[in-house]
């Protein structure tokens, strides 16, 4: 099975912590050169220091804030104008919107989430796909959510925007297939990350239930009986980025311990 990514360059968004960082670590273990993207330079430096270099890879980072897609576009284009800078692998990923009911959300919340997720994905992908075509290898992997298959209670804005990103990705898969570029979505379920902790803390404050009680209730809904670890989601990303996944495109891959109730 050919999982070799030696010599391949990967741009991993939201790569300083959580699932993004785990994906970067798994890609590095397969030999890829990694560029991490996030808004906090200190956490980026820390994450870079944890990436594997046993195959003489070169790793770097870019500081970018996804709250303004126009600035993201300027930053990524400036980076790609540097000599010998291109990517065969792109992992689109950024922190999810705050929890809450869709009926209570303000229009600005939907607009900001659409900017952070779909528009930033779009401008980065537009810029990077040229290098994929030129170098004959392209893997675009979007970290979304199982909510694209089954909406999650209390995540109204997230459910809405994740669905838009999933349909955007499926459309791109159809458009880019002729160039041998694959586009796939990884759908994490309940994963042991800072985001899950924050969502549960907010729910605990709102309902008066303890964190332990909320966590046990969530685990009881998962056939495997536990939360995912970030590296388990990262492994799915690395597989889809590898040569062996060359005929897989346009899919939504849940990594959720069986929790999603539909096929």
User: How high is the pLDDT of residue 152?
Assistant: 95
User: How high is the pLDDT of residue 181?
Assistant: 98
User: How high is the pLDDT of residue 10?
Assistant: 98
User: How high is the pLDDT of residue 202?
Assistant: 83
User: How high is the pLDDT of residue 153?
Assistant: 94
d(CA 113, CA 201): 21
DSSP of 79-104, one letter per residue? HHTSTT---SEEEE--PPPPPB-GGG
Domains observed in the chain = 9-192+228-255 (3.40.50.720)
User: How high is the pLDDT of residue 199?
Assistant: 81
**Pairing of the two strands 60-63 and 89-92:** unpaired
H helical segments located in the chain: 18-29, 41-48, 69-80, 107-114, 120-135, 156-176, 194-207, 211-220, 230-241
Q: Estimate the crossing angle of helix 211-220 against helix 194-207, to 10 degrees.
A: 110
User: How high is the pLDDT of residue 69?
Assistant: 97
User: How high is the pLDDT of residue 67?
Assistant: 95
pLDDT, one tens digit per residue, over 32-86 is 999 999 999 999 999 999 999 999 999 999 999 999 999 999 999 999 999 999 9
Q: Which residues of the chain have pLDDT under 70?
A: none
Asked if 23 contacts 147 with a C-beta cutoff of 8 angstroms, the reply is no
């Amino acid at each position: 099975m050919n999982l070799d990514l030696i010599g391949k360059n990967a741009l991993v968004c939201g790569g300083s912590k959580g699932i993004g960082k785990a994906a970067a670590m798994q890609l590095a273990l397969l030999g890829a050169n990694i560029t991490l993207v996030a808004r906090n330079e200190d956490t980026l430096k820390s994450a870079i220091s944890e990436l594997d270099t046993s195959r003489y890879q070169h790793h770097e980072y870019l500081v970018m804030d996804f709250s303004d897609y126009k600035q993201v576009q300027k930053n990524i284009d400036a980076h790609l104008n540097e000599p010998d800078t291109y990517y065969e692998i792109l992992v689109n990923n950024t922190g999810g919107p705050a929890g809450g009911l869709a009926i209570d959300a303000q229009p600005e919340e939907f607009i900001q989430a659409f900017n952070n997720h779909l528009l930033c994905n779009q401008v980065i992908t537009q810029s990077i796909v040229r290098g994929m075509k030129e170098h004959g290898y392209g893997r675009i992997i979007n970290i979304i959510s199982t909510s694209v298959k089954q909406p999650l209670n209390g995540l109204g804005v997230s459910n809405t925007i994740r669905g838009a990103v999933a349909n955007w990705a499926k459309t791109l898969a159809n458009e880019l297939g002729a160039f041998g570029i694959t586009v796939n979505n990884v759908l994490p379920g309940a994963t042991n990350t800072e985001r899950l902790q924050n969502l549960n803390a907010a729910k605990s404050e709102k309902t008066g239930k303890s964190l332990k009680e909320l966590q046990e209730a969530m685990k009881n809904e998962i056939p495997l009986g536990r939360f995912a670890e970030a590296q388990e989601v990262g492994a799915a990303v690395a597989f889809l980025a590898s040569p062996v996944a060359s005929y897989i495109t346009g899919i939504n891959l849940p990594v959720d311990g069986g929790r999603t109730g539909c096929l």
